[in-house]
Amino acid sequence: MKEYKNEDIIVYWYPEQCAHPGTCLRLLPEVFCATRRPWVDVNAAAPEEIIRCIDQCPSGALRYSLPEGSSVNPEMAAGVGSIDNINNVSSAVKVKVIKNGPYLVEGATLLVCSDGTPIYEGSRIALCSCGCTQNPPFCDGSHRAKR
């Protein structure tokens, strides 16, 4: 984990979790620049803008917190990218990765299409991890034929 901070915000980056879709680079290029070192400049935009950007990180590799004395409203910093949100696992969904099999998801789940349309709501689901399913994103057992 790498940490970038100023008096109003701390940005955490977990490189091993990053799926590299470039969301942060597109939304806030003045803060997130892959060709610059350090690649995160927390002084290049308002902390509220950084928070809104990090809340859209699809992999959760970017997170944030507020240091003591921050001028940012704590309610504004309570989104999905908040380190406090990530650490609150009491209601976390459990995802079990099965070798040569599906991802088994347990817990209150709402699965949506890229346009936001709900396609599944429930507490147990098996998602395809191999790409062979004829019923994406659900596992249909096609991985067995792949072996």
Tell me the pLDDT tens digit for each residue of 19-52.
788 999 999 999 999 999 999 999 999 999 999 9
pLDDT band (50, 70, 90) for residue 109: confident
Q: Judge contact between 69 and 8, C-beta under 8 A.
A: no
77 has pLDDT over 80:
yes
Alpha carbon distances (Å) from 66 to 8, 30, 60, 104: 6, 20, 17, 34
For residues 128-136, give the mean pLDDT: 92
* Residue bearing the bigger pLDDT, 44 or 116: 44
- Architecture in CATH of 94-146: 3-Layer(aba) Sandwich (3.40)
- Domain map of the chain by residue range? 2-87, 94-146
Whether the predicted pLDDT of 86 surpasses 60: no
Cα within 13 Å of Cα(117), Cβ side: 3
With bands split at pLDDT 50, 70 and 90, how would you rate the model's confidence at 13?
very high
Rounded to an integer, the average pLDDT of 85-113 is 82
Check residue 89 and give its pLDDT: 54
Q: Sheet containing 62-65: give its strands across.
A: 2-5, 10-13, 62-65
Q: What percent of the chain shows pLDDT beyond 70?
A: 95
Fold of 2-87: Alpha-Beta Plaits (3.30.70)
Average pLDDT, the chain: 90
What was the pLDDT predicted at 147?
A: 63
Q: Does residue 88 have a pLDDT over 60?
A: no
* Rounded-to-integer distance, Cα 144 and Cα 1, Å: 37
